[in-house]
Amino acid sequence: MSRKLWEDVDAYFESVLIGDDPALDAARKAAAAAGLPDIAVAPNQGKLLNLMARMIGARRILEVGTLGGYSAIWLARALPEGGELVTLEYNPKHAEVARANVANAGLADKVTVITGAAIDTLPRLKGPFDFSFIDADKQSNPDYFRMCLKLSRKGSVIVVDNVVREGRVLDTKGGDANVEGIRRLYEIMAAEPRVSATALQTVGVKGHDGLAVALVVAD
Ligand code: SAH
Ligand code: DHB
Ligand code: MG
């Protein structure tokens, strides 16, 4: 199967199920114009995050890794009146682009972008969060997962992006900190009695990658 076919199918899903979305299109354009890397979630993935947050009635959402705010807009749109999204970003330029994109999407009142290394900013947050999306530096996934779990409650959901990386997740040779971060994440998820977790491979405009999903089953 070819990457071109995966991309065509994603384009079809976007056109048939999502359609034009001025705020999201503008956010992608602004991020590209500012020189940010083109690594935001795909439109159908963004909508999946939005639907998952709505399925559990999330009122407080935590994101680790904001980039230009594309996934943040999808997630913040899932929130009811009075809900909030806290999103953590290391790069001040990314955070600035994200704040502008979020404001342009009419979501400034619901979204707080906190600048700094997530390992430093996560401990300052007050839980519980109903939904967490981990999508920053992959070698720190184990730390982010543990900290997000600490900020969760029974019934919370934690989603982690980029957990397959073209199959590099199978690489047991070591030496790639990102792969080791992903493999360690699975070990922690499997050993942690407070969560029940699974993972899915995905293909599409993001290549061959995947998402891990954990449900917090006990406080
Ligand atoms: N969730 C975004 C994409 C995030 S890309 C979306 O789908 O739209 C990963 C982001 O994590 C980048 O902006 C990068 O600067 C940020 N990042 C990398 N290391 C980080 C760290 N230690 N703490 C917080 N953010 C970090
Ligand atoms: C990269 C990071 C991501 O979060 C992603 O979804 C795709 C690629 C990267 O750092 O290459
Ligand atoms: Mg990602």
Can you tell me whether residue 34 is helix, strand or coil?
coil
pTM of the model: 0.98
| pLDDT on residue 51 | 99
Cβ of 135 closer than 6 Å to ligand 2, yes or no, is yes
Atom nearest to 118 CA in ligand 1: 23
Cβ of 200 closer than 6 Å to ligand 1, yes or no, is no
Residue 160 has pLDDT above 90, yes or no: yes
Q: How many domains does the chain have?
A: 1
DSSP letter at 78?
A: T
Q: Is 40 left (phi over 0), alpha (psi -120 to 50) or beta?
A: beta
- Where do the DSSP E strands lie in the chain? 60-64, 84-89, 111-115, 131-134, 157-161, 195-204, 207-216
Please state, in angstroms and rounded to a whole number, the distance separating the CA atoms of residues 117 and 97. 17
The phi and psi torsions of 109 (rounded to 5 degrees) equal -70, -15
Cβ contact 144:118 at 8 Å: yes
Q: How confident is the model at residue 3 (pLDDT cuts 50, 70, 90)?
A: very high
Residue 1 has pLDDT above 90, yes or no: no
Return mean pLDDT, the chain. Answer: 98
Omega prior to 128 cis, within 30 of 0 = yes
Provide long-range contacts, Cβ within 8 A and 24+ apart, for 99-103. Answer: 99/69, 100/30, 101/23, 101/26, 101/27, 101/30, 101/31, 101/68, 101/69, 101/70, 101/73, 102/69, 102/72, 102/73, 102/76
Model pLDDT for residues 34-75, shown as the tens digit of each residue: 999 999 999 999 999 999 999 999 999 999 999 999 999 999
Model pLDDT for residues 164-208, shown as the tens digit of each residue: 999 999 999 989 999 999 999 999 999 999 999 999 999 999 999
Cβ of 39 closer than 6 Å to ligand 1, yes or no, is yes
Gap from CA of 139 to ligand 1 centroid (Å)? 12
Domain extent at residue 10? 3-33+41-216
Q: Can you give the CATH number for the domain in which 72 is found?
A: 3.40.50.150
Closest Cα to atom 3, ligand 1: which residue? 40
Helices (H), 56-176: 70-76, 92-104, 118-121, 141-150
Cβ of 136 closer than 6 Å to ligand 1, yes or no, is yes
| pLDDT on residue 209 | 98
| pLDDT on residue 111 | 99
Can you tell me whether residue 199 is helix, strand or coil?
strand
